[in-house]
């Protein structure tokens, strides 16, 4: 009876919406060919689902590959409420992939975490990786005027390559890292601006006023 329960529980894990989202993210970021993908996006439900006829052994193999990129086992991933949404899965997976890809001295296109020209001046910037913290999955990036510290690795969108064809993220000579995702870049830009404004607001509230 316990073995049957264990098999049923494993089957439920493999066929869960959360597992489908994880595998779909892996297929997208690793640019798995359409012919080899086992998930698809279904707009009516706003999520990813397994293709018809996909066998459990195919799901299990893809699941293990995706978990390896995440640096997690199944129990940890399934039990962590932070990964209920694809945004968090994408961020973690990009962090881990970029940790293995980026090197100090690489010129990159990244989401600047601090504005250059004023509070509203947030955009994609070019810079050079000064250092990588593989434990915290962050990096320091030297921009045109100063170095930005503790930049999440997933904010690095591409690296400069004079031989890269076409225009990516609005720039020439940029090789997108793990696919080009303009909507994701826009989300990160809004995110850093909100974080910056919240930090500034907190600093201003904490500053004592002079009483005359």
Q: Calculate the CA 123 to chain-centre distance.
A: 18
- pLDDT value at position 121? 87
Q: Show Cβ contacts of residue 43 under 8 Å, excluding neighbours closer than 6 positions.
A: none
Q: Kindly state the tokens that stand for 208.
A: 């004592």
Give pLDDT tens digits along the chain (212 positions). Answer: 444 434 555 568 888 999 999 999 999 999 999 999 999 998 877 789 999 999 999 999 999 999 999 999 999 999 999 999 899 999 999 999 999 999 999 999 999 999 987 777 899 999 999 999 999 999 999 998 899 999 999 999 999 999 999 999 999 999 999 999 999 999 999 999 999 989 888 765 544 443 32
Q: Residue 173's CB: how many other CB atoms inside 10 A?
A: 18
Q: Residue 122's CB: how many other CB atoms inside 10 A?
A: 23
- pLDDT value at position 158? 98
With beta carbons less than 8 A apart as the criterion, state whether 48 and 42 touch: yes
- pLDDT value at position 176? 97
Sign of CA dihedral 171, 187, 75, 63: negative
Mean pLDDT of the chain: 90
- pLDDT value at position 46? 79
Chain segment 4-22, per-residue pLDDT in tens: 434 555 568 888 999 999 9
Domain ranges of the chain: 2-95, 102-206
Residue 139 CB burial class (10 angstroms; 0-12, 13-18, ≥19): buried
């Amino acid at each position: 009876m316990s073995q049957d329960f264990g098999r049923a529980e494993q089957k439920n894990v493999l066929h869960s919406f959360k597992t489908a989202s994880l595998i779909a993210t892996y297929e997208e970021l690793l640019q798995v060919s359409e012919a080899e993908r086992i998930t698809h996006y279904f707009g009516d439900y706003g999520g990813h689902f397994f293709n018809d006829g996909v066998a459990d052994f195919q799901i299990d193999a893809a699941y293990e590959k995706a978990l390896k990129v995440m640096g997690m086992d199944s129990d940890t991933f399934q039990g962590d409420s932070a990964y209920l949404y694809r945004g968090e899965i994408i961020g973690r997976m990009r962090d881990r992939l970029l940790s293995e890809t980026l090197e100090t001295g690489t010129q990159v296109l990244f989401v600047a975490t601090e504005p250059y020209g004023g509070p509203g001046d947030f955009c994609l910037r070019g810079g050079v990786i000064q250092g990588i913290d593989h434990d915290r999955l962050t990096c320091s990036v030297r921009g045109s005027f100063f170095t930005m510290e503790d930049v999440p690795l997933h904010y690095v969108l591409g690296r400069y390559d004079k031989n890269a064809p076409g225009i990516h993220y609005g720039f020439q000579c940029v090789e997108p890292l793990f696919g080009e995702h303009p909507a994701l870049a826009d989300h990160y830009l809004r995110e850093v601006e909100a974080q910056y404004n919240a930090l500034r607001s907190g600093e201003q509230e904490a500053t004592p006023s002079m009483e005359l």
